[in-house]
């Protein structure tokens, strides 16, 4: 009888702590790491032997900002993340969870924001959602044949709707009653008791509701007064749990409310993580302001982290259907129109166009998009002659204003006009400095969202590539050990979950990867099936890099292939409660 279920011999071993790596040999039994040895382990003692010579052996990566909430219900393998070495995912981000609210409400606050088709998500929830509180949700998740481990926040929009109803929760004039606030506190307390990591809120008003009932209202969390948020923060602070939030980009000073709560000047600080530190093309001062705010908050005793995407922030758009246009009045006006005929009539109206051109020219107003159609490449269009060119080039050639050209093309081609731009993190030297900022968390992949936009499923590999390139160029941003730590042990420790390390006695969540695979283009998009949704989505694939992924001591990826059993039987991932 074999002594070990899995033996990994000869790999460069990273324990997740940032300590120096070394060639080591690992033994796994009954889901745990039981041996880390300087001497090779006898292959005859292994049921499964992995020769990791020349490979890196790291803890499984944590992805602490995803929107897999719907996918967990019918496609719990979450294979797009697992194939890239992610063994623990966090759901319930951006005030969006699918725990408390009824099926249609849960769908409508999720689908437009995360651009997953309502006609796919709503039937899934109507068929499967039998739970209405955190305990019942955890019981459901624990019965799911999950691929990775799952950790969760409770979404504030979901919580509000579950107690107040969708209409009252999105009425600016309505303030929850004391009874409703106490009910929300009770639900949050239950969530924390059963292991939720904390609460996620939203102050950004661009994210809108789907469906016919409250179409185009902002998410319910945005309607809450700050005194409501403070009540919940007191509970989080007492428990040492996490508040994830998103400031209002149109009002940069609003971040001070989050920072004041993070400080805990007269008591325990509140773990606070916000979206997001970006080196924006359209606002180069924002990254410096974000860095100063985090430094000041933590200097004064806070526990604050910005979420940081370690790669260029790419946006793909079909026609006008992209959240970038929500940040100024003319764009918001068009996106509020669901009827295509009405929208096209608006886009052709000359007074509307003048208004759009005015907003487009306001380069100094608060913004995320650089508002430069000259920096937007046409990827697909029925007029093949303009594919590969930017809008400004075509407009100059035709002697028209670039805004008029864009609006004409949207009217003529609709969603068949597909284009691409990068809004931030475009300067590699700046990005290398940003990933070294101790007041950041390397996260914000948005995995599971944005079916035709970019969700960064391979975020951990992009981070490792960025660091390895800096080392190869003789200007190391950090060591590989530190990079692995930022993706594993650091995040597990900050969020307070049992993950992120490979040590004797730890759960065996392990990745074996070939570092030579990091040399390829990590940004190449691929179209793949979204399992059990009946649609294609845009993803990344990084062949020749991640060779094996072990989750709870079982092979989830073997020889670069997701095993067929993933998501089909119990025994891979589990629900991980907060410590």
Tell me how far apart the alpha carbons of residues 486 and 463 are, in angstroms, rounded to a whole number: 9
Average pLDDT over residues 220-245: 96
What pLDDT, on the 0 to 100 scale, is given for residue 272? 97
Q: What is the DSSP letter of 194?
A: T
Average pLDDT over residues 483-491: 98
Q: Residue 182: which pLDDT band, with cuts at 50, 70 and 90?
A: very high
Q: Please indicate, yes or no, if residue 369 is contained in any of the structural domains.
A: yes
Measuring CA to CA, which residue among 201, 225, 9, 248 is closest to residue 92? 201
Q: Please indicate, yes or no, if residue 290 is contained in any of the structural domains.
A: no
CA angle (520 as vertex; 515, 521 as ends), nearest 5: 140
Residue-number span of the structural domain to which 380 is assigned: 315-421
Q: Please indicate, yes or no, if residue 375 is contained in any of the structural domains.
A: yes
Tell me how far apart the alpha carbons of residues 267 and 138 are, in angstroms, rounded to a whole number: 31
Q: Say if CB 204 and CB 249 are below 8 A apart.
A: yes
Q: Residue 266: which pLDDT band, with cuts at 50, 70 and 90?
A: low
What pLDDT, on the 0 to 100 scale, is given for residue 367? 83
Q: Say if CB 311 and CB 459 are below 8 A apart.
A: yes
CB atoms within 10 A of CB 553: 21
Q: Please indicate, yes or no, if residue 412 is contained in any of the structural domains.
A: yes
Average pLDDT over residues 268-284: 93
What pLDDT, on the 0 to 100 scale, is given for residue 249? 78
Tell me how far apart the alpha carbons of residues 156 and 199 are, in angstroms, rounded to a whole number: 7
Q: Please indicate, yes or no, if residue 392 is contained in any of the structural domains.
A: yes
Average pLDDT over residues 485-504: 98
CA angle (357 as vertex; 354, 362 as ends), nearest 5: 130
Instruction: State how many domains the chain has.
Output: 1
What 3-state DSSP class applies to 554?
strand
Q: Please indicate, yes or no, if residue 212 is contained in any of the structural domains.
A: no
Average pLDDT over residues 305-311: 97
**What's the pTM?**
0.97
Q: Please indicate, yes or no, if residue 376 is contained in any of the structural domains.
A: yes
Averaged confidence pLDDT in the chain: 95
Contacts of 513 (CB under 8 A, 6+ apart): 55, 56, 58, 85, 461, 545, 546, 547
Q: Is the pLDDT of residue 359 over 80?
A: yes
Q: Please indicate, yes or no, if residue 71 is contained in any of the structural domains.
A: no
């Amino acid at each position: 009888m074999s002594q070990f279920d899995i033996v990994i011999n000869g790999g460069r071993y990273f324990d997740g702590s940032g300590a120096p790596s070394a060639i080591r040999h690992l033994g796994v039994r009954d889901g745990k790491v039981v041996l880390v040895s300087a001497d090779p382990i006898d292959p005859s003692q292994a049921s499964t032997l992995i020769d990791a010579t020349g490979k890196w052996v790291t803890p499984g990566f944590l992805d602490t900002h995803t929107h897999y909430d719907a996918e967990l219900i019918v496609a719990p393998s979450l294979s797009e993340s697992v194939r890239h070495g992610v063994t623990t995912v966090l759901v319930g981000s951006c005030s969006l969870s699918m725990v408390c609210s009824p099926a249609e409400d849960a769908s409508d606050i999720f689908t437009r924001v995360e651009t997953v088709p309502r006609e796919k998500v709503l039937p899934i929830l109507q068929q499967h959602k039998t739970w209405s509180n955190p305990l019942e949700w955890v019981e459901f998740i624990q019965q799911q044949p999950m691929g990775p481990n799952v950790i969760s926040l409770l979404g504030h929009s979901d919580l509000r709707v579950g107690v107040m109803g969708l209409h009252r929760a999105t009425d600016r004039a309505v303030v929850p009653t004391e009874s409703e606030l106490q009910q929300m506190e009770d639900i949050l307390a239950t969530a924390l008791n059963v292991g939720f990591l904390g609460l996620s809120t939203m102050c950004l008003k661009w994210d809108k509701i789907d469906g016919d009932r409250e179409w185009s209202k902002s998410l319910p969390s945005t309607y809450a007064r700050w005194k409501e948020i403070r009540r919940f923060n007191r509970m989080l602070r007492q428990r040492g749990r996490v508040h994830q939030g998103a400031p209002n980009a149109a009002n940069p000073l609003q971040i001070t409310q989050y920072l004041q709560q993070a400080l805990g000047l007269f008591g325990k600080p509140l773990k606070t993580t916000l979206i997001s530190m970006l080196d924006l093309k359209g606002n180069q001062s924002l990254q410096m302001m974000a860095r100063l705010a985090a430094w000041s908050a933590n200097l004064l005793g806070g526990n604050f982290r910005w979420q940081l995407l370690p790669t260029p922030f790419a946006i793909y758009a079909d026609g006008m259907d992209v959240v970038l246009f929500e940040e100024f009045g003319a764009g918001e006006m068009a996106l509020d129109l669901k009827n295509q005929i009405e929208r096209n009539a608006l886009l052709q109206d000359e007074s509307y166009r003048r208004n759009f051109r005015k907003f487009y020219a306001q380069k100094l107003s608060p913004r995320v998009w650089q508002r430069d159609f000259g920096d937007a490449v046409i990827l697909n269009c029925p007029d093949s002659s303009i594919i590969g060119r930017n809008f400004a080039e075509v407009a100059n050639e035709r002697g028209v204003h670039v805004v008029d050209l864009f609006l004409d093309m949207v009217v003529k081609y609709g969603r068949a006009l597909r284009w691409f731009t990068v809004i931030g993190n475009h300067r590699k030297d700046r990005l290398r400095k940003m990933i070294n900022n101790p007041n950041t968390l390397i996260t914000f992949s948005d995995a599971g969202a944005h079916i035709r936009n970019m969700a960064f499923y391979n975020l951990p590999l992009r981070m490792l590539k960025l660091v390895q390139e800096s080392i190869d160029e003789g200007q190391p941003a950090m060591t590989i050990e530190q990079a692995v730590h930022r993706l594993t042990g650091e995040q597990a420790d900050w969020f307070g979950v049992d993950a992120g390390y490979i040590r004797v006695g730890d759960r065996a969540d392990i990745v074996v990867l070939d570092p030579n695979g990091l040399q390829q283009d990590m940004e190449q998009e691929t179209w793949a099936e979204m399992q059990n949704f009946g649609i294609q989505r845009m993803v990344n694939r990084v062949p020749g890099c991640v060779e094996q992924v072990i989750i709870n001591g079982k092979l989830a990826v073997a020889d670069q292939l997701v095993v067929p059993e993933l998501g089909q039987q119990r025994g891979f991932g589990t629900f991980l409660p907060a410590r």
